[in-house]
Structure 1
């Protein structure tokens, strides 16, 4: 664990906004402040005239319990809206899982039920220390495609500067033909890729309520900290346009509120 103050211009009377985040988890956060959540936290802090102090903690099982709920910080950005362990703000963006393919392959994928998937190697993300399957991995396994799947940990090898890129690197090498990736991760690494990649939203399916592919993203505070939640929520609302600019810069595929289908980045 490392605690570091991040300079955000603010008056002498500013309060300290203590934030817990992963130090090596691009596109979301890193210790250099290069992640999209770092940028959005800075926007919020500017609106609140606050100085940001980060506690860096690898985002693994027990992250909320060992950081926010242990009193090491007061705010966690980039959480699922309505997460039970937290009091969350209204969502500030909504994204979805997407198919990622090499543009040169000219693959067209209509849905998780598309016959083209049956003879392709498909990369899926594994979540957590125990390698739990992501919603697309579960959905594809239920469709009899277990032998087609190749798993890549969502957090990857911490020795690498961008461990979350592993699944896209596998696509580049030809180890897999298709990757099914959380939208912000896919959009960000596609921007940087040496070859052109196509991103196609995972379409809604009959099992979407049991295995959702679309998620609302919010910020979280401790359950009893309603006052801070309200302050953060107000700041997010007031700076909506600036946050939208950050999401566009990071190529995040967005889903319009009230719909199930994401827009292509």
Structure 2
């Protein structure tokens, strides 16, 4: 259930890959599906208003990254569409939003509690530095491994408690970052197979996404968790004050 939105995107990708829709470009169809899915989830109560705001924020953040990366040739969207800006279809932002949707859903369904979460003065600048490195590494040194080392130091003591049924389990947050990043890499292989986007080495024929991409998703997941966690902490403080 936490993966409901990502699964809907997978299904739409598979259907649009196998069935041509006269008068409707594939990327435009995917955008319509993503918007309708968000409307349904919100109207049925599967998604709260605050969660919808977070997902919208991720759509904007992701779209900004997509515009830059496509411009730099990191990947491409070769198919035509009406809803394309500078080579980037608008549905692509929902790929990042789907990660946020999963985090918000999992947080609520597993009743997550974070223990020893770092101060805002550490987590927020680190998230900004990670996001900026996705852009700056095209021009200067790639600091991903330096940032990963800092992340380990900052989140070394942080543990996530989660409930399955009536039993509560715990896991080091750093391990959860790695695991979610790995499973997103698996999802990325599925989505590129169905033509969600294309890496340069996949132009002629589909190939497995390079294992190095796991580190990119690992860092992106950390940005996502930091944003969601800090926003929830701020929300809790405001609620207590009221």
TM range (shorter): under 0.3
Would you tell me which structure has more strand in proportion to its own residues?
1
Of structures 1 and 2, the one with the larger relative CO (CA 8 A, separation 6+) is: 1
Identify the structure with the greater helix proportion: 2
